[in-house]
Chains A and B, each alone.
Chain A
Amino acid sequence: AQSVSQHNHHVILSEAASLELGCNYSYGGTVNLFWYVQYPGQHLQLLLKYFSGDPLVKGIKGFEAEFIKSKFSFNLRKPSVQWSDTAEYFCAVNGGGSARQLTFGSGTQLTVLP
């Protein structure tokens, strides 16, 4: 069975600080990796995804993530956060099954102070 660990439950940063959110997964085969974001009161939106190819993927709003296969990691980064990045961030993986079910991490709440 696949699982996802997000190590930081709540991160508080000041505007312009750099961000890195950790995500580790466990699955022995080929995986597809995702980061979703949930702004307060809204539904989940896709931030970025990795299927294959360049392990450094760029998403919306200046976010990027790096897939490191040897470390089973897919950390999310942003060089300079803004107040509007305050949200909950979810890492997710799918690695098989007939419908490609997603397994989500428990989420990281990011609070950016103005």
Chain B
Amino acid sequence: NAGVTQTPKFQVLKTGQSMTLQCAQDMNHNSMYWYRQDPGMGLRLIYYSASEGTTDKGEVPNGYNVSRLNKREFSLRLESAAPSQTSVYFCASSGGPRYETQYFGPGTRLLVL
């Protein structure tokens, strides 16, 4: 049981390049989330998926797109990376009897030059 996994762990991009961050969970959770973590700002929700087939914007969705590929996988895409998107990105999932508890992946550190 790996929990929540993310790839890659670290990525450097040039301004304007695109990339997709991958997230998968093996806990049979319905809901999945993407956050970004910036110093002094805590974690801010980018997008979430309440269940397979649905996605919704969070607090800071501009510049990102998401795909809920199936129940296990939830990807985050940067179409044209900007330096302001330099951050650490965390994926999380929640489900089960007390589904409010979210379980986090190890994070992807992204540097946009």
Contact = CB atoms under 8 A, between A and B. Distances in A.
B42 A100 contact: no
A44 B90 contact: yes
Contacts of A4: 42
Bin the interface of chain B by size: 20 to 34
Contacts of B98: 51
Interface stretch (B12-20, B48-56, B75-83): B48-56
A90 B90 CA distance: 14
Interface stretch (A63-71, A79-87, A104-112): A104-112
A49 B102 CA distance: 11
Contact of B100 (A32, A36, A42, A90): A32
Interface in B32-89: 33, 35, 40-45, 48-50, 56, 58
Nearest to A51: B98
B33 A34 contact: no
Contact of A107 (B35, B42, B58): B42
Contacts of A44: 43, 90, 92, 104
B11 interface: no
Contact of B107 (A43, A94, A101, A103): A43
Given A49-B101, A90-B43, A106-B40, A100 B107 contact: no
Instruction: In the A-B complex, list the 3 residue pairs whose CB atoms are closest, starting with the nearest.
Output: A99-B50, A104-B42, A44-B104
19 contacts: A9-B40, A43-B90, A43-B105, A44-B104, A46-B103, A49-B100, A49-B101, A51-B100, A98-B50, A99-B31, A99-B33, A99-B48, A99-B49, A100-B31, A101-B33, A101-B48, A104-B43, A105-B42, A107-B42
